[in-house]
Structure 1
Amino acid sequence: MATDLTTPTPAHPDAAPIQRRTLRLLFTTQIVGGIGVTIGISVGALLAAEIAGTAVAGLAQSAAVVGGALLAVPVTRIITGHGRRPGLTFAYGIGALGAVLIVLAAVARSVPLLFTGMLLFGGGSTANLQARYAAVDLAEPERRARQLSLIVWATTVGAVAAPNFAALADRTTHGWGLPALSGPFAFSAVAFVLAAGVLQLFLRPDPLLTARLLAPARATEAPEGGTAARAGQVVASDGSPVAAEPVAVPAPPARRGAGMRAAWSVVRALPAARLGIATVAVGHLVMVAVMAMTPVHLREFHPVEEVLPVVGLVLSLHIAGMYALAPVIGWLTDRLGRRPVILGGVGTLLAACAVAGTAGHHTPRLTVGLVLLGLGWSATMVAGSTLLSESVPDAVRPSAQGLSDLVMGCAGALAGAVSGFVVQLSGYPVLTLLAAIAVTPLLALALRPVSAAGEED
């Protein structure tokens, strides 16, 4: 019987087989969780527009993003104190509850219930995002980006197909008496419960708790050929360790893990960590802003009876851009460094805004823009998450990762909240222009030179 590492054991287990088993399990649950998140989100704006109007459609989408961001706080607290398994299970459970409330909101045509459900539905996204960090707890330094990107890529299998199943799910549940556009959320609830159950039963031993047991031994081992820093070592913005004196960072409390306040103190002192958080947040902001309003934009020039299949196809290709090439991006991140891939992601996001914003009613061109949007998000997510994870000490790493997801979620929520009003007042092209402008500060930050001591010049 597998041993649960909630209570430390005297002997240190071998990390390699645990890491392989963890990756296989996370890969499986990411597929299921990806279906749950995407099949609901693909019709979320349409359901919100049906119940509350176009102007607040973006607000409903942003509610899910806000929920995911806010849930990162309790989920991070659980992970820090008790490990990855209970934290991920809790997040999926909250997401399932939110999906059920959304179905009830559609039945009652209740706007408050809809927003409450969307807030809790964000738990599914929280779990999917936090799972990528579980993949690097026991990863070798030279393979961190590739193993993180493998879990990001796993979402492709479910997420790309899910929007195309939205119409089938809607027809199926319509026969059960559920209102139009609510069926996909019923399927989301089932997917989240399944993912939570699998993790609760089989994610043993816990990868984070195992990494803590192995930390003293691993800290004395130099990475062979890797470019990532060990715990507490300062890295430059491209992810390479610096040879000079490390930047002084506040010592975290000597306990299971430090909270977000301590993590923020450490992140502020490390330029590489700041760049990692900013990269993830800005990439997510731009992606959410443009993607959330694309179904509403498509509805303007497609008949109501045809819009769901078109939305499904466009979003499927967009999600393929987000996840399908993640392993390639992870390999490039390990091979070329973190900063070059971040800069490539920024350039791709700018190209995506230009193509989508000038597509007009030409659906194929709009689709190309959404695919580029997904690729840019993937590059910023993989490179930024890897850079952050290896730039902070072990004791604050889970909290810094949770802080990153909180900032990312708030940035995406702001984008989703504003996007509906921008489209209603000025149109979709103006939205893409504003999204492109939002990328420019990240470009400046990524190009800022970093000295040998890790300080910005």
Structure 2
Amino acid sequence: MAHRTTTPKPPSPQTNAQGSGPPSARTQQRILTVLFASQVLSGLGLAAGTTVAALLVQDMLHSTALAGLSSGLLTAGSALAAIAVGRLSQARGRRPGLAAGYLVGALGAVGVTTAAANDSPALLFVALFLYGAGTAVNLQARYAGADLAAPAHRARSISTVVVATTVGGVAGPALAGPTGHLAQALGLPSLTGLFVVAAAAFTLAALTLLIWLRPDPLLLARTVHADTSTDSAQPTSATAASVPGTPRREPSLPLGVLVLVLTQAVMVAVMTMTPVHMHAHGHGTAASGLVIALHVGAMYLPSPLTGRLVDRFGSATIAVWAALTLLAAGVLAATAPDDSVALLALALILLGLGWNFGLVSGTAIVTDAAPVATRAKTQGLVDVAVAIAGAAGGMISGLVVAAASYSALAITGAVIALALLPVIIATARKR
């Protein structure tokens, strides 16, 4: 065989989805657009869980200590759904996996409404567990945005999907009052209004994915990776930067899991009990809805900037920012006067921002470390750990507030965030 005298030309980045080589920018943009639309809808569906679920449990069980059980059930359901969605996505692709999870979440929202109308705590617990599937899918959609992204722009693609939740996530809590009136007009308890909206929103999100998420990003990423792996020639740096799945020199998978787990636990614990704390000190549903809306906005709205920061400075650096921001949020929440809605709102904004830093940086670490062949399954298992951490944080939060105080809960979250710092720094230095 004659030796080649010229360097092989890398595959064109404009190759279409049916051919070999990296997918076109148009294909990736289409996928991000569809994911963005579904995330807007799912964000609206998630509002019920973050705003009124704890209040609904408290009203039905007549117990503040058990109010945190709502978050525990939601995140436990999210954990099981993360496994199922991860396995289904691994076998069939992102489209059927994500859509199935949203449909289960819609079923859970209907169940919550039915349980409240019939004063059935047992049905409420089962329904909240199912509703948690919507949370799992909303989080796992960020991985779909990264499947076809070039490593140098992966965090930005993740953040594009994450920020879409802002629209529904902020609008949802603000609708707590109007949807409550609507529920009463329908003969339902006022707190179920947002769950009625959630059922419709999750269903529409599932239909959006089933109809328009084509080609499937994970299946296409596998094809691209298989094609590039069969080429015996060493890729140039320019080619490597354009091939999905090319690893970067970043902190390892365990660090990514730790960042995601701890930021989730701290955020869920403090967020869950904030409405309960505010109601205990005379603040109405409108005030707590506003605080949660600002919190959710801080969770998702900074995502485009966070993605660019991760791509530029590295995921470990932004993970450090996450820990410092959560520390500040815990201290402020613990020291804010009980009658100060403004300071509580600021604390919850910092809590959301810290979670955002942790989510985008941790997701980038996990995605970089997970092989394309087993990516969906690995990501599903990671999100199980995240969901379990959230469940633990939610369930423990009510007990801590009942036994001690809301300030004690916030200080505990700050201490956990502080403990994360040396681990991030030590791991980053080893790399």
TM-score, length-scaled by structure 1: 0.86
**Residue among 426, 432, 439 paired with 2:410:** 432
**Residue among 259, 263, 285 paired with 1:279:** 259
- Residues 173-322 of structure 1: pairs in structure 2 closer than 5 A: 173-219=183-229, 221-224=235-238, 231=245, 233=247, 235-237=249-251, 272-302=252-282, 307-322=284-299
Q: Deviations over 1:256-297 (max 9, x none)?
A: xxxxxxxxxxxxxxxx11111110111110000000000000
Alpha-carbon distance in 1 for matches of 2:228, 2:350: 39
Report the counterpart of residue 442 of structure 1 in structure 2.
420
CA contact (8 A) 1:142 1:223 kept: no
- Give the partner amino acid of 1:313: L
1:170 matches 2:180? yes
Alpha-carbon distance in 1 for matches of 2:40, 2:165: 5
Residues 328, 406 of structure 1: CA spacing in aligned structure 2 closer, same or farther, 3 A cutoff?
same
1:339 matches 2:348? no
Q: 1:226 deviation in Å?
A: 8.3
Report the counterpart of residue 246 of structure 1 in structure 2.
none
Aligned residues: 409
Q: 1:223 deviation in Å?
A: 5.0
Q: 1:16 deviation in Å?
A: 2.2
Residues 228, 293 of structure 1: CA spacing in aligned structure 2 closer, same or farther, 3 A cutoff?
farther
SS of corresponding position for 2:67: helix
Alpha-carbon distance in 2 for matches of 1:16, 1:358: 49
SS of corresponding position for 1:55: coil
Structure 1 unaligned regions, length at least 5: 1-7, 238-271
- Give the partner amino acid of 1:312: G
Alpha-carbon distance in 2 for matches of 1:404, 1:95: 20
Report the counterpart of residue 326 of structure 1 in structure 2.
303
Q: Deviations over 1:101-154 (max 9, x none)?
A: 101110111111111111000111111101100001100111000110111111
SS of corresponding position for 1:57: coil
Alpha-carbon distance in 1 for matches of 2:210, 2:187: 33
1:129 matches 2:139? yes
Residues 449, 82 of structure 1: CA spacing in aligned structure 2 closer, same or farther, 3 A cutoff?
closer
Alpha-carbon distance in 1 for matches of 2:272, 2:364: 26
CA contact (8 A) 1:62 1:414 kept: yes
Deviates more, 1:217-226 or 1:206-215: 217-226
Alpha-carbon distance in 1 for matches of 2:314, 2:213: 31
Q: 1:387 deviation in Å?
A: 1.0
Deviates more, 1:385-394 or 1:346-355: 385-394
Residues 407, 413 of structure 1: CA spacing in aligned structure 2 closer, same or farther, 3 A cutoff?
same
Residues 223, 368 of structure 1: CA spacing in aligned structure 2 closer, same or farther, 3 A cutoff?
farther
Question: What is the CA RMSD across the aligned residues, in angstroms?
Answer: 2.0
Report the counterpart of residue 42 of structure 2 in structure 1.
33
Report the counterpart of residue 356 of structure 2 in structure 1.
378
Alpha-carbon distance in 1 for matches of 2:367, 2:313: 17
- Give the partner amino acid of 1:236: E
SS of corresponding position for 2:191: coil
Report the counterpart of residue 153 of structure 1 in structure 2.
163
**Residue among 339, 349, 356 paired with 2:333:** 356
SS of corresponding position for 2:146: coil
CA contact (8 A) 1:98 1:117 kept: yes
CA contact (8 A) 1:228 1:235 kept: no
Q: 1:158 deviation in Å?
A: 1.2
Report the counterpart of residue 5 of structure 1 in structure 2.
none
Report the counterpart of residue 99 of structure 1 in structure 2.
109
Q: 1:232 deviation in Å?
A: 7.4
Counting aligned pairs with the same residue, the percent is 39
Structure 2 unaligned regions, length at least 5: 1-16
Deviates more, 1:406-415 or 1:393-402: 393-402
